[in-house]
Amino acid sequence: GNSVTQMEGPVTLSEEAFLTINCTYTATGYPSLFWYVQYPGEGLQLLLKATKADDKGSNKGFEATYRKETTSFHLEKGSVQVSDSAVYFCALMPSGGYNKLIFGAGTRLAVHP
Amino acid sequence: NAGVTQTPKFRILKIGQSMTLQCTQDMNHNYMYWYRQDPGMGLKLIYYSVGAGITDKGEVPNGYNVSRSTTEDFPLRLELAAPSQTSVYFCASSGDSNNEKLFFGSGTQLSVL
């Protein structure tokens, strides 16, 4: 079946530190991969996506590369800000599946000044 | 733009009561979804719809019902509330091209006591 595994949080960093949040997946076929972010009290919003192997998604300084050989889609940012504090969800969208998403458990990031 | 609107934002129910969570979107999206988010867990799909008059079960449909009489609205019905249904509920919508991002509402926090 399809599933997503994320590193457990919380992740606590100082401002300007380097961020990595690990994500691995199990899927049949050729899924698309996504990172969504949830700020306190809000719904999820798309951060970035990649639809095929070796694609790199990027947005707001965040990057993730679709690695089919390691079934991974790790999220990285070179220098985090306090405003990046949120919960980050890795998700996969199976091919031909009406855009249904399968989510990881989420990783809470706290950035301190 | 309003996007996806959910009501109410908060609700407390007694065991055995019923209620309807409302969801409406103004983007003319065919695809709509209901997810629940339990503490420390990722989102789980309850029901989804690919167009007016068409609904289907997701991963955790037991105890819920949905209808889709219009493109805009996708209400979620709880008939006999149980403590296990205490959760945060998110409605989402997407266009019907492949790999479209989902737009999420801000959520309904439901407690069943």
Give A4-58 pLDDT, tens digit per residue: 999 888 999 999 999 999 999 999 888 999 999 999 888 899 999 999 999 999 9
Check residue B40 and give its pLDDT.
Answer: 78
Task: Look at residue B1 in the predicted model and tell me its pLDDT.
Answer: 66
Residue B13 exposure: Cα atoms within 13 Å on the Cβ side:
24
Q: Tell me how close the Cα of B80 comes to any Cα of chain A, in angstroms.
A: 26
The pLDDT of residue A15 is 97
Percent of chain B with pLDDT over 90: 87
Check CB contact of A43 with chain B, cutoff 8 Å: yes
Which residue from A minimizes the CA distance to B51?
A98
Q: What is the mean pLDDT of chain B?
A: 94
Query: What band does B100 get if pLDDT is binned at 50, 70 and 90?
Result: confident
Q: Which residues contact A39 (CB under 8 A, 6 or more apart)?
A: A45, A86
What are the pLDDT digits (tens) for A60-70? 999 999 999 99
Chain A residues within 8 A of B96 when measuring between CB atoms:
98-99
- Taking only Cα atoms into account, the Rg of chain A, rounded to an integer number of angstroms, comes to 13
Q: Supply the pLDDT for residue B29.
A: 95
Give how far B103 is from chain A: nearest CA, Å: 7
Q: What is the structure's pLDDT at A42?
A: 86
Q: How many CB atoms lie within 10 A of CB A105?
A: 18
- Tell me, yes or no, if B39 comes closer than 8 A to chain A by beta carbon: no
The answer to whether A80 contacts chain B (CB < 8 Å) is no
Q: What is the pLDDT of residues B43-77, one digit of tens each?
A: 999 999 999 999 999 999 999 999 999 999 999 99
Q: Using CA atoms of A75, A80, A85, A86 in order, give the dihedral in degrees to the nearest 10.
A: -20
B97's CB contacts (< 8 A; 6+ apart) are none
pLDDT digits (tens, 9 = 90+) for A67-112: 999 999 999 999 999 999 999 999 999 887 788 999 999 999 999 9
- Nearest-Cα distance to chain B for A39, in Å, is 10
Touching check for B7 and chain A: CB below 8 Å?
no
